[in-house]
Amino acid sequence: MSLPTDHFIFPERELRRSVARAFSALQEAGEESVVLLAARPAGARSGVGWILPGAPVPRSPSPLHRVARFVEKPPLEAAEALLAEGALWNTFIMAGKARAMHRLIGKRYPGAAGEVSLYLALRREGAWKRELDRVFGRIEPFNLSTQVLEREADSLLMAPLGGVEWSDWGTPQGVWESLLSLGWRHKFSARSAAGNALSRQTCRFPRCVSQREVWEGVSP
């Protein structure tokens, strides 16, 4: 399972339930694939990936769909069209067996998949610590979204996140939109609306400081 570290998810318990449902659905449907967890979009946005759901997976006890199309950070006009088609935001939370991801990457980057296979063999032999830097140093960098997920959309599955507020907090505006959506505006300084800084004195969840300082999440 992969979990990005710079995203906002609330409440966490609903995320855990969605992940558990995705794993259960995979097992019940007899599928061995990578599942992308998708969030309900708050609007057309060009800075996120979009997933267009395809046909539902038979025998799945909870919503699980084929992926009809995956589009990474489209122009705004294209994002508006995807929103109208019923596409969801890609959270980059992925669930599934490691061998499914290994096979997926191997379709486009067999060299990278081969190096991972070599690493696994070395690990079994107890030599992985000595060879780790050398093995991964031979892997050419690539963009997983545009160079694998977009091109292998028909190999993917998707499951909607239920009852979860999700946002990629890459900009002050993204933070502010989450606060408005959750009704937390009263906890923050009005300066936030301009996307400048969030007041340390009035901010309780999370503690927010100026863009020159560090965000520090605390409990509500």
- The mean pLDDT value for 84-103 works out to 93
How sure is the predictor about 190, in pLDDT bands with cuts at 50, 70 and 90? low
- Phi, psi angles (nearest 5°) of residue 11: -85, 155
Q: How confident is the model over 148-172, as pLDDT tens digits? A: 999 999 999 999 998 888 887 777 7
Strand partners, 157: 35, 66
At 69 the pLDDT is 97
% residues pLDDT > 90 (the chain): 38
| 3-class SS string, 55-67 | EECCCCCCCCEEE
Classify the C-alpha dihedral 202-205-207-213 as positive or negative: negative
At 105 the pLDDT is 93
At 188 the pLDDT is 63
| Long-range contact pairs involving 141-147 (C-beta distance under 8 Å, separation at least 24) | 142/108, 142/109, 142/112, 143/72, 144/105, 145/49, 145/70, 145/72, 145/73, 145/90, 145/92, 146/72, 147/108, 147/109
At 65 the pLDDT is 94
At 44 the pLDDT is 93
Domain ranges of the chain: 7-100+143-168, 169-220
- The mean pLDDT value for 186-199 works out to 52
How sure is the predictor about 193, in pLDDT bands with cuts at 50, 70 and 90? very low
How sure is the predictor about 201, in pLDDT bands with cuts at 50, 70 and 90? very low
Among 37-46, 127-136, 186-195, 204-213, which stretch is predicted with the lowest mean pLDDT?
Answer: 204-213
The one-letter code for the residue type at 34 is V
- The number of CA neighbours under 13 Å toward the Cβ of 160 is 13
How sure is the predictor about 197, in pLDDT bands with cuts at 50, 70 and 90? very low
15's tokens? 């995320």
How sure is the predictor about 212, in pLDDT bands with cuts at 50, 70 and 90? very low
Greater model confidence, 207 or 182: 182
Q: Which of 50-64, 84-98, 173-187 shows the highest mean pLDDT?
A: 84-98
pTM of the model: 0.77
Distance of alpha carbon 91 from alpha carbon 83, whole angstroms: 15
- The mean pLDDT value for 104-124 works out to 89
Number of other residues whose CB lies within 10 A of the CB of residue 8: 17
Average pLDDT value for the chain = 81
Q: Which of 5-14, 62-71, 176-185 shows the highest mean pLDDT?
A: 62-71
